[in-house]
Amino acid sequence: MKRVVVAVTGASGQIYAKSIIDKLAKLSESGEVDFEVIFSIPAKGVWKEETGLDVPKSDECSYIVNNYDFGNRNASGSNCSDSMIIIPCSMGTIGRLAAGTSDTLILRAADVMLKERKKLIIVPRESPFSLIHLRNMTTLTEAGAIIAPASPGFYQKPAGLEQMVDIFTDKILDIAGVDSIKKRDRWGD
């Protein structure tokens, strides 16, 4: 069974995180994936502001992991996930990750993915980018991460925001190797 860890940081675009979490929760119910979710502290505020929902709590959702739980399995290269998705990813997290600080579980788990040569998918959200942002993203790309900005294609003619998000998060899960996610019409098929 594919194991995925999702990190939610304090950038705008929490609707993407909600979509990914909802899809993985459904797939885990049918035993198709095993997943965990880690929120940074700033993410909790932005999630509430943008989705209007309470942040899922660990006593209600078994997949929620504390961002300071360094005893969590994702903190170790001997038991890391098959892939990790940071969605949305703030410029702060990108900077700290590029510097290798590893001072939260999100940063440690992402650092582990890089050192173990596993798939790390980063969905940055900022506009415009500074040279520092671009350099940090280059560093992470050189280290093996996949930078996958939320810049949806329009050729699928999404009917609205929800469909646009749905198409984009399917693509991210596809990159993460979650095979059971339905394949959209691919260009040229």
Ligand X SMILES: Cc1cc2nc3c(=O)[nH]c(=O)nc-3n(C[C@H](O)[C@H](O)[C@H](O)COP(=O)(O)O)c2cc1C
Question: Which residues of the shown chain bind ligand X in the complex (CB under 6 A)?
Answer: 9-12, 40, 42-43, 45-46, 49, 90-93, 125-126
Q: Which is nearer to ligand X, 108 or 125 (CB)?
A: 125
Give the DSSP letter string of 115-143: HTT-EEEEEE--SSPPHHHHHHHHHHHHT
Report the C-alpha dihedral over residues 168, 34, 94, 154, rounded to 10 degrees.
0
> Do the beta carbons of residue 16 and residue 169 sit within 8 Å?
yes
How long a stretch of residues is the chain? Answer: 189
CB of 12 to ligand X, least distance (A): 4
CB of 42 to ligand X, least distance (A): 4
Q: Which is nearer to ligand X, 63 or 129 (CB)?
A: 129
32-55 residues labelled b (16+ CB within 10 A) or e (exposed): ebbbbbbbbeebbebbeeeeeeeb
Q: Which position's Cβ is nearest ligand X?
A: 10
Q: Which is nearer to ligand X, 40 or 178 (CB)?
A: 40
CB of 26 to ligand X, least distance (A): 26
Which helix (H) or strand (E) segment holds residue 106: the answer is: helix 105-115
CB of 31 to ligand X, least distance (A): 31
Distance in angstroms (rounded) separating the CA atoms of residues 67 and 86: 13
> Do the beta carbons of residue 35 and residue 109 sit within 8 Å?
no
Q: Which is nearer to ligand X, 49 or 162 (CB)?
A: 49
Q: Which is nearer to ligand X, 72 or 90 (CB)?
A: 90
Q: Which is nearer to ligand X, 46 or 140 (CB)?
A: 46
CB of 161 to ligand X, least distance (A): 16
CB of 8 to ligand X, least distance (A): 8
Among 187, 12, 172, residue whose Cα is nearest residue 91: 12
